Amino acid sequence: MQFFSLPELFSSLFSPYKRIVESRTVGFNLEAWAGVIIINIMSRLIGLLVRTIIIVVGISTLTIFTFVGLFSYALWIGAPLVITGSILSGIYLWW
C-alpha cells in the first residue's frame, strides 16, 4: 500500500499531472481562456491515466502477494506433512 502510494493516488486521482496547470490571464481573451482550459483538462487527463495505471499495477501486485501470503501460511501450517512428504517421496522416486 505504502510502496504504491495507493491512498495518495486515490485522493488525487483527478488532480492535474504533477500540478502542471496554466493560470488565467488578466482580462477576458477567448483564445487564452480556451487554451488554459484545454491545457488544464489535458493535465488532469494525463494525471488520471498515469494514476490509474499505477493503481491497477498496485492492486494486482497486492492481490498476488495476498495469495502468496495465504499459500505460505498454508505451507507453514502443513510444513511437517509437506517436508516429510517431499523427502520421503523424493527418496522413493530416487530409489
Instruction: Return d(Cα 70, Cα 18) in angstroms, integer.
Output: 37
**Does position 28 bind other proteins by CB under 8 A?**
no
Give the footprint of other proteins on residues 30-49 (CB under 8 A).
47
Q: Using the rule CB under 8 A, is 19 a contact of other proteins?
A: yes
Q: Does 15 bind other proteins (CB under 8 A)?
A: yes
Number of residues forming the site for other proteins (CB under 8 A): 33
Cell of 95: 530409489
* Nearest 10 degrees: Cα torsion 67, 72, 73, 74: 90
Give, in degrees to the nearest 5, the angle at Cα 55 between 43 and 67: 175
What span, in angstroms and rounded, lies between the C-alpha atoms of 18 and 47? Answer: 7
Among 20, 38, 41, 49, binds other proteins (CB under 8 A): 20
Q: Which of residues 53-92 bind other proteins (CB under 8 A)?
A: 54, 75-76, 79, 82-87, 89-92
Number of CB atoms found within 10 A of residue 22's CB: 15
Residues within the interface to other proteins (CB under 8 A): 2-5, 8-9, 11-12, 15, 17-20, 47, 50-51, 54, 75-76, 79, 82-87, 89-95
